[in-house]
Amino acid sequence: MKKQKKSSVLLIYTGGTIGMMQDVVTSELKPFDFKTLTQQVPELKKFDIELSSIAFAKPIDSSNMHPLVWIELAKIIKDNYSKYDGFVILHGSDTMSFTASALSFMLENLNKPVILTGSQLPIGIIRTDGKENLITAIEIAGSQVKGKPVVNEVCIYFEYKLYRGNRTFKYNSSHFDAFKSPNYPALAEAGVNIQYNKSALLKPTTKALKVHTHMDNDIAVLKLFPGISKKITSAIINTPGIKAIILETFGAGNTTTQEWFANELKKAIAKGIVILNITQCLEGKVIQGMYETSSHLKKMGVIGGADMTFESAITKLMFLLGQKLNNTQLKKQLLIDLRGELTE
């Protein structure tokens, strides 16, 4: 019987807690050398996977993550797409959901796994969660059935769960289970074996990978709260150069019905600014028109964001604005499920 070819995985280290080691003398944390990765995590030697790595010359704290870094990551994957069966990106947890969401839109027709992971404790600390996250993320990235990858999308793996990246948000800064995906089920759970939720995974495509490298961040966020003033609302809406506004509303997409607020939104829409309505709730979705307090939004042309996360809404807008679409096209694309980011 012909032996199945080893799968190959490219590990990309951007920065973050997972790649830090503690100096035995000073106790300071510093990035470890990824060329000696198997010395730091000897368990990796047991994998029947060919593992290669690329590390950013200067590790980036995830608080400094930027669309330019997303573009760099997309280009790395594009340049190495034919060489590897899967990709693992090591990333700080604070903005991991933003990066995962952005890459999901930038990597159109992705037919291989791109798994982001990290840790709450450095990999050089005894109680680190980094080793398990790294080992299992690599195993998932290299998993194949009959020569085909099991996963064909951008995901986050953290604390025994694999999630669709553009459905996640970081909800906990002190526990190992740092991420949630409230509006979409986990894609896999790691126990004694890795159990895949096959019905939840994106289906493979026969189309060629298309990598988009234009992102436009001329976006403002207007988060509502009881008592928000006209002065503040007007200042945000009239920010020079903005092309889109994310309106973070109450419940199922509700806002104040005060006349001045509606007028400010109408003026923005008249200027060609796209307004996307997403809920402040961590679970559930926007249903414009369910109540009187949201029906006026639908009538004036505010776009309902359904059950998109804030992270997905931001990066989807950046992606679509980068495509130089006209307003009609852009609004249509916002309503369409492009990468599994919303329930239509």
pLDDT tens by residue, 83-96: 999 999 999 899 99
What CATH number corresponds to the domain at position 280?
A: 3.40.50.40
Q: How far apart are CA 315 and CA 117, in angstroms?
A: 19
Please give the average per-residue pLDDT across 110-131, as a whole number: 85
Let me know: does 75 contact 213? Beta carbons within 8 Å.
yes
- What pLDDT, on the 0 to 100 scale, is given for residue 181? 97
Same domain flag for 150 and 16: yes
pLDDT tens for 59-68 read 888 899 999 9
Let me know: does 319 contact 212? Beta carbons within 8 Å.
yes
Question: Does 343 map to a domain?
Answer: no
SS3 285: coil
* Count of the separate structural domains present in the chain: 2
Question: Does 92 map to a domain?
Answer: yes
Lowest mean pLDDT among 24-33, 115-124, 199-208: 24-33
pLDDT confidence bin for 320, thresholds 50/70/90: very high
Same domain flag for 123 and 260: no
Q: Which residue has the tokens 């096209």?
A: 329
Report how far Cα 67 is from the mean position of its chain's Cα atoms.
12
Please give the average per-residue pLDDT across 159-184, as a whole number: 92
Q: How far apart are CA 169 and CA 171, in angstroms?
A: 6
Amino acid 318 reads M
Let me know: does 216 contact 258? Beta carbons within 8 Å.
no
Question: Does 344 map to a domain?
Answer: no
Same domain flag for 187 and 231: no
SS3 260: helix
Q: What is the CA radius of gyration of the chain?
A: 21
| End position of a domain, from candidates 211, 234, 263 | 211
* Host domain of residue 275: 219-335
Q: What are phi and psi of 108, to 5 degrees?
A: -75, 140
Q: How far apart are CA 34 and CA 38, in angstroms?
A: 8
Mean pLDDT over each residue of the chain, to the nearest integer: 91
pLDDT above 70 (res 33): no
| End position of a domain, from candidates 191, 211, 231 | 211
What CATH number corresponds to the domain at position 34?
A: 3.40.50.1170
Q: How far apart are CA 130 and CA 159, in angstroms?
A: 9
Lowest mean pLDDT among 119-133, 134-148, 151-165: 119-133
Looking at the annotation, which residues are catalytic?
17
pLDDT confidence bin for 16, thresholds 50/70/90: confident
Same domain flag for 223 and 195: no
| End position of a domain, from candidates 159, 183, 211 | 211
Q: How far apart are CA 110 and CA 116, in angstroms?
A: 15
Question: Does 341 map to a domain?
Answer: no
- What pLDDT, on the 0 to 100 scale, is given for residue 114? 98
Question: Does 330 map to a domain?
Answer: yes
Same domain flag for 282 and 190: no
Give all strands (DSSP E) within the chain, no chain letters: 7-13, 20-22, 29-31, 49-55, 86-90, 107-108, 114-117, 144-145, 148-149, 154-158, 161-164, 169-170, 179-180, 188-190, 194-196, 210-211, 219-223, 244-249, 274-279, 303-304
Q: How far apart are CA 294 and CA 303, in angstroms?
A: 11
Nearest CA among 241, 320, 232 for reference residue 273 = 241
158 CB neighbour count, 10 Å cutoff: 27
Q: How far apart are CA 60 and CA 99, in angstroms?
A: 13
Same domain flag for 245 and 295: yes
Same domain flag for 167 and 282: no
Q: What are phi and psi of 22, to 5 degrees?
A: -95, 125
Question: Does 198 map to a domain?
Answer: yes
- What pLDDT, on the 0 to 100 scale, is given for residue 322? 97
